[in-house]
Amino acid sequence: MILMRGGRLAAMVAALLGAVAAALLAPGPGDRAWANANGSSHSGAGVSEATEIQSGAAAKPAGAGHGAPPLATYGRLPGFETAAISPSGAHVAMLATAGEERLVIVIDAAGQLVTKIPVGDVKVRSLDWAGDEALLVDFTKTINLGVDFSASKTELASTVVVPLGGDKPWTIFAQEAGITGGVQGRYGVVWRRGHWFAYVGGITLGHDVKTNNYWLKSGRLVPDLYEVDLGNRHTVRVAAHPDNDMIDRDWLLDGNGKLAVIMDYNRTTSTWRLGVPGKPPLASGTSPSRDINLIGFAPDGAGVIYSVRDMKAQRDDWFVVPLAGGAPQAYLAEETFQYTFKDASHRLLGYVDDLTKNEAHFFDPLREKIYQASRKAFPEQQMVLKDFSEDFKRLIVTTEGGGDPIAWWMVDISSGSATPLGMSYPMTADQVAPFRLVAYKAADGLAMDGVLTLPPGRPEKGLPAVVLPHGGPTAHDRPMFDWIAQAFASRGYAVFQPNFRGSTGHGADFELAGHGEWGRKMQSDISDGLADLARQGIVDPQRVCIVGASYGGYAALAGVTLQQGLYRCAVAIAGISDVARMVATDVSESGFDPLLKRALGEEVGTGRDLDAISPLRFVNRVAVPVMLIHGKDDTVVSPDQSKAMANALRKAGKSVEYVTLPGEDHWLSRGATRQAMLEAAVGFVTRNNPP
C-alpha cells in the first residue's frame, strides 16, 4: 500500500500509460506461419476422446550440441515465456522470441499467423482473451513517484487490448483523465449485448470542473471497480471502494457481469465480512493477520467459497456458503492447496494439492479423465496444465524433466494429438540437468524437503555444491527446470533448493512455523539439508557456496554472518542486510498501516531482536568473499540494503564485490541485466569454489 503524502496528484503516476504502451502498440510486419517452427505435430490414429493421446513426447527439442551451453542460454529471457488459448480454442497467443525479436504472437487453430506485436523489453506479465475478438496483454513499468508519496518508486500495471479484427490496439484507461494508476486488478471479461466487457480496478480522481484539476480523493491508492466496453472503449464505474480508507474490498462478478459478492476487510478492527450487495452478510469473522481470501463460486454456482486461516489450529480452512443464505460449511477439509482452476464465470473447476503430491484434480469426471490421459501422454516428463479452452478439448501444457527444458505443447483431444508450440530454453536432452525432490529432517525433527539438481553426466558423489534458498520467504521450490539452478549445474555443481520452515506448499502449520525464525531455525533448516546431502556422500561439505535472491539473499548473507564455517562464498541478489531498516521502510511506505506492522512483528520480530538477525550487524564475522547484486529499480527490497552491506564489509576490510543492474526490478525482468546477474554470480562462485 502506497500513501499519498500531499493533496495533489503527482504527474508521474500517469507515466505508465505513455511510452511503454506506445512501444507495445507498434504493429509488427509479417504474415508467415510461426507455429511448428520448433517441430512437427504428432498424432495418433484411431484415438478415442479422453482415453489416449499419442504425444510424440519422446522427441527432443533441437539444441546447441553436446557439452555445457553458454551461460547466455540460461540468462536470456526464455525463448517461450507464456501462452493463452481463447475460450473457443480457435486462437493461441504466445509470448516468445523469434531470432533476436521478442514478440506477442497469435496463431489460429491451423497454426497460421494472425498477428504479431514486437514488445522489446516491455515487461509483459500475462496474456488473456476476450472471446476470439481481442487479446489482453498485461504489462508493468517501474515509475518514479516523487516527494508526494510515501514510496519513491512503484511498479504499476496496465492492460493493452489487441483487437483481432484489424482495429488498432489501445490501452485501458489511457484516455480517462479521471482514472489513474493503471489497472489495479482484473475481475473477468463478459460477453453481453454484442460486446465484450472487461471488469478492472482503477483509482478514481476527484475533479474540479471549474479549474479542470484532478486530485487523489484519499490518502491510500485504493481502486474502484470499472466496466470497460472493449468494443467502443466506453468506461463506467460499477462499484466504489468504501469511504473508509482502512477497508480492503474484493469483488466477485457472475457470468453476466453482475456484481454478486463483496468481501470487506477492516484493517483497523481486523474484522471481515462477506455478502451479496444490499443484503445481510453471508459470513463474517476476525482475522488479525488478514488471512482471509475470496476463492470463487462453488462448481454449481449456488454458493461462494472462501478461505480463513485458523491461527490456533495452524491450518487454512475452506468454506462454502449458499448465496441464498445459510450456515457456512467446511469445503474440501482434508486438502492443502497450491492453486485453483476456475471457468470464465469464476466457478471452481479444480485445484492442485500440496507440493508433496503436486496433483491436479477436477470435479467434472470428463475433465478429470482428459487431464489424466494428457498426463499419460508424457510418461517421462512432468506435465503442468497452463491453460485450456472452455470445453476442455484443447489444452496448453508444459513438460519438464526427462530432458525437456520446459517444452510447450498444444494438446488437441478431438484429434488425439499434441503439437509442440515452442520451448523455453534451446538445449539438447543431455544438457538438461536432472532434478528431484529430496526429503530430510531439521535438527528439531521437523520433516521438510528440497529440490536437488545434479550436473549432467556426473556421478552423485562428492560434488561441489551451491545452496540456493528461495525468496519470499512465503514461497516454495518444486522439482522443475529452474534457470539459475540449471546454469550452476551445467558448470558442475549440485544445486540444493531447500523448502525451509516458513515455505508455502506444505500447509499453514509449516508456513507458520517460520514465524520468529528469521536467522534462526529457518537458517539452520537450510544447513541441515546440506548436512544430510553430505552424510549421503552426494556433496562435498568443504566445497559449498550459498546463493539467493530476495529472502534467499538474506539467507545467503546470514549463512556467512549468523553462521560460520559452512560456505566458501556467498552471493546475495536483492538481499536484505538490515532487517530493522526493512521493517521501518515497509511500515513507512504503507502509511504506518497497523495491520502490516503487526504482521511483520509476528513474522520477523521487533525492537532489538531485529538487530540480532541482521547480517549488517555481524560483518566482522565474515571470513569468505561476498558478492552483492541489486537492481536499481527494485521496489520491493531497497538497493540501500545492498549498498549499506557493501560499505560495512569494505570498512571491516572484508572481500566484497557489488554489482548494480541499471533499469532492473526485483524480479530480474529484463534479459540483458538478468544475463549480467548470472554471468557475475556464476563467475564469482567458480572463482571462489572451483567445480
- pLDDT given at position 437: 94
Residue pair 397/411 in contact (Cβ under 8 Å)? The answer is yes
Of 258-272, 355-369, 402-416, the least confident: 355-369
Alpha-carbon span 80 to 432, nearest angstrom: 17
42, 74, 374, 389, 618 from 48: Cα distances, Å = 15, 39, 13, 19, 65
More confident residue, 211 or 103: 103
Residue 688's contacts (CB-CB under 8 Å, 6 or more residues apart) are 545, 568, 569, 624, 625
Q: Please give the pLDDT value at position 41.
A: 33
Instruction: Tell whether the model's pLDDT for residue 29 goes beyond 90.
Output: no
Cβ(490)–Cβ(455) under 8 Å?
Answer: yes
Query: ∠644-647-652 over CA atoms, to 5°?
Result: 125
User: Cell 460486446 identifies what position?
Assistant: 195
Share of the chain above pLDDT 90, in %: 60
Share the mean pLDDT of the chain.
85
Q: Is 216 helix (H, G, I), strand (E, B) or coil?
A: strand
Per-residue model confidence (pLDDT) at position 25: 45
The answer to whether residue 246 scores a pLDDT higher than 70 is yes
Three-class SS of residue 608? helix
pLDDT of residue 659: 94
CA distances from 42 to 91, 166, 404 (A): 19, 33, 17
Which DSSP helix (H) or strand (E) runs through 409?
strand 404-412
Report the DSSP beta bridge partners of residue 162.
Answer: 135
125-130: average pLDDT: 94
Who contacts 330 (Cβ-Cβ below 8 Å, separation ≥6)?
Answer: 317, 318, 319
If phi over 0 gives left and psi between -120 and 50 gives alpha, with beta otherwise, what is residue 58? alpha
Residue 16 has pLDDT above 50, yes or no: no
Q: What is the pLDDT of residues 620-678, one digit of tens each?
A: 999 999 999 999 988 889 999 999 999 999 999 999 999 999 988 888 888 889 899 99
Helix axis angle, 483-490 to 671-688, nearest 10°: 40
**pLDDT value of position 48:** 29
DSSP 123-134: EEEEEEEETTTE
pLDDT at residue 22 greater than cutoff 70:
no
Instruction: Give 178's pLDDT tier (boundaries 50, 70, 90).
Output: confident
Please state, as a whole number, how many other Cβ atoms lie within 10 Å of the Cβ of residue 326: 12
Res 462: pLDDT: 95
Tell me which DSSP letter residue 162 carries. E
Tell me the residue ranges of DSSP E strands in 47-177: 80-85, 91-98, 101-108, 113-118, 123-130, 134-144, 153-163, 170-171
Three-state DSSP state, 338: coil
pLDDT value, residue 639: 92
CA 24 from chain center: how many Å? 22
Q: Please tell me which residue, 324 or 151, carries the higher pLDDT value.
A: 324
Q: Is the pLDDT at 31 greater than 70, yes or no?
A: no
What's the pLDDT at 357?
A: 67
Per-residue model confidence as pLDDT tens digits over 562-571: 999 999 999 9
Asked if 414 and 44 touch (Cβ cutoff 8 Å), the reply is no
CA 377 to chain centre: 27
Categorize the per-residue pLDDT at 370 as very low, low, confident or very high, splitting at 50, 70 and 90. Answer: very high
Nearest-CA neighbor of 143 among 682, 680, 665, 669?
665
pLDDT tops 50 at residue 594: yes
Going by pLDDT thresholds of 50, 70 and 90, the confidence category of residue 147 is low
Give the burial string for 259-291 (b: 16+ CB within 10 Å, else e).
Answer: bbbbbbbbbeebbbbbbbeeeebbbeeebeebb
pLDDT of res. 148? 58
Note the pLDDT tens digit of each residue in 44-102: 322 222 223 333 333 333 333 347 899 999 998 898 999 999 999 999 999 998 877 89
Helix (H), strand (E) at residue 533: helix 521-535
Give the range among 3-17, 118-132, 162-176, 346-360 with minimum mean pLDDT: 3-17
In this model, does residue 24 exceed pLDDT 50? no
As a whole number, mean pLDDT of residues 548-561 equals: 96
pLDDT for position 146: 62
- pLDDT tens digits, 185-243: 999 999 998 889 999 999 888 877 777 787 777 666 789 999 999 999 999 999 998 88
Q: In angstroms, rounded to a whole number, what is the distance separating the alpha carbons of residues 149 and 7?
A: 10
pLDDT number for residue 606: 76
pLDDT score recorded for residue 151: 65
Round to whole Å and give the CA distance between 155 and 665: 9
Mean pLDDT for the stretch of residues 318-328: 94
Q: List all residues 6 or more positions away from 357 whose beta carbon is below 8 Å from its beta carbon.
A: none
Query: pTM (2 decimals)?
Result: 0.85
**Residue 648 phi, psi dihedral angles, 5° rounding:** -65, -40
Q: What domains does the chain contain, in order, with CATH numbers? A: 433-578+614-688 (3.40.50.1820)
- DSSP-based helix, strand, coil % in the chain, nearest 5: 20, 35, 45
Q: What pLDDT was estimated at residue 63?
A: 32
pLDDT digits (tens, 9 = 90+) for 420-479: 998 999 899 899 999 999 999 999 999 999 999 999 999 999 999 999 999 999 999 999
Of 215 and 395, the structure prediction assigns the larger pLDDT to 395
As a whole number, mean pLDDT of residues 575-603 equals: 81
Closest CA to 471 of 667, 627, 274: 667
Closest residue by Cα to residue 293 from 280, 305, 276, 278: 305
Which tens digit of pLDDT belongs to each residue from 503-547?
998 888 999 999 999 999 999 999 999 999 999 999 999 999 999
